[in-house]
Amino acid sequence: MWLTALLGLTVLRLILAATLPLAPDEAYYWLWSQHLQAGYFDHPPMVAVFIRIGTAAFGPTPLGIRLLSPLAAAAGSLLLWRAAEDFCPDRHAGLIAAGLFNATIIAGVGAILITPDTPLLLFWTAALAGIGRLLATRDPRWWLAIGAAAGLALLSKYTAALLLAGIGLWLLTTKAGRGALRTPWPWAGLALALIIFAPNIAWNHAHGWISYFKQGGRVTRTDPARSLQFLAELIFGQIGLVTPICFGLMAAGIWRLGRARNAVAALLLWLTLLPAAIFLENTLAERVQANWPAIIYPAACIAAACLPAPAIARWLKPALACGFLLTLLVYAQAAAALLPIPPNRDPAALQLAGWGDLANQLAARHAAFITADNYATLAELAYHAPAGTTVAAFDPRWQYFNFAGGNLQGRSGISLTRRTDTPCPEPLGTLTRLSARGAVMAYRVCAVTATANGVVLK
């Protein structure tokens, strides 16, 4: 029965993936997929590989670009089911854990859009499932599967280092784990993970360690004046994205693990509390993006599924009903603007609406090239611009893969900006990105000239 429900949910997600316009980050990663390499300015390459596989089947359409996202969510649900069954046998824990995870908004939205979190969550959950099999079978060869999954997770997003750190701390802080470290198997798994990740290390070495510095250098200073704001946004934002009852069950499960004294409890605690501590520390300096804590929730769902039967019996159905209802509401808002939210305040419209028309309006000015002063707008222009339109990139991040628009030095073009602090000595008017319900965002159009090192505003 639940497999039929998962199949139906996956079909719904595929339909939405095929019909919703691309978000800016998705267009950016699509550009990566046109130039496959072992690393990029922002992230490792796995999201580009996923997109390349999908577009090989369905072309550069929204469905092709996002194809593997709903499929990865379905596969991850099966892996989470397997892991929970091994961690908490005889409790129907697998069904509970998979149901809770799919009922969250953060998983529901992530199962449609394609981002580095898509492969990260798949391989993170695969590592959890491998550990579950290791504990259930006592077969040390599962360490190789765990290492392979961890290596693929590292090739998805650098926060997968927290997976290796959590497993390492679990081994060091448990008697059985310290015993395992005296055998070659965990070390073989670690070596396999590093071998799989090695191409990205080589790419970063050849490019001045740029993406490691970019991602590892986020917290370089504190901002006490705003840290409380960032902390509140993180906590209340996650309660909303996980949905309140699901969040409460996960929190209760993690709290109960703190009083347990077994290997399963120790592992799940390290894989939830360690990332949570890192994200909390991050609020001292900057805002934590809503999708970053997604890695916490596979283990948190297992913790909830391991709660005593009375707690689950009382709260599971309300949690699932609330979660899926809110997720469906988000889907409806993205697809049909169901709620009367002003377009310039609607998160779905801000991300998805009006990009194609905006690109066509800009291309209709027939400049030598078009560009923008931020990567998100530029990526949408590159995806939507009509054939024959030159979209040029001048920000340093674009130098790390082959996307520049050709030799344009000395030629005149136009740049799009929505920032008030970007100089525009020769304004060429404004363009407005529109949704079906009205204006989403206004942009200034500026005349620019290409130089060897970038663009100069006229």
Segment 10-55, tens digit of pLDDT: 999 999 999 999 999 999 999 999 999 999 999 999 999 999 999 9
- Least confident stretch, 294-303, 309-318, 376-385: 309-318
pTM of the model: 0.94
Which pLDDT band holds residue 455 (cuts at 50, 70, 90)? low
Residue 403 above 70 pLDDT?
A: no
Tokens linked to 83: 């892991």
The answer to whether residues 189 and 140 touch, using CB atoms and an 8 Å cutoff, is: no
- Residues 295-314: tens digit of each pLDDT: 999 999 999 999 988 878 89
- Confidence label for 458 from pLDDT (cuts 50, 70 and 90): very low
Q: Which of 14-18, 87-91, 436-440 has the highest mean pLDDT?
A: 14-18
- The DSSP line for 281-348 is HHTTTSPPPTTGGGGGHHHHHHHHHTS-HHHHHHHHHHHHHHHHHHHHHHHHHHHH--S---GGG-HH
Residue 359 has pLDDT above 70, yes or no: yes
Q: How confident is the model at residue 140 (pLDDT cuts 50, 70, 90)?
A: very high
**Structure tokens belonging to residue 103:** 């009922």
Q: Two tokens at 343?
A: 């377009």
Average pLDDT of the segment spanning 227-236: 91
Higher pLDDT, 271 or 263: 271
Cβ neighbours of 409 (radius 10 Å): 10
Q: Looking at residues 367-395, what average pLDDT do you find?
A: 89
Q: Retrieve residue 175's tokens.
A: 């008697």
Is pLDDT above 80 for 90?
no
Q: Is the dihedral of CA 218, 220, 223, 228 positive or negative?
A: positive
Give the model's pLDDT for residue 417.
92
- Quote the pLDDT of residue 404: 53
**Average pLDDT of span 303-332:** 93
Minimal CA–CA distance to 243: which of 117, 110, 74, 106? 106
What is the mean predicted confidence (pLDDT) over 56-68? 97
Q: Who's near 349: CB < 8 A, 6+ residues apart? A: 337, 341, 343, 435, 437, 440
Nearest CA among 288, 166, 291 for reference residue 227: 288
* Cα–Cα–Cα angle for 311, 315, 321, rounded to 5 degrees: 160
d(CA 89, CA 302): 11
CA 153 – CA 120 distance, rounded (Å): 5
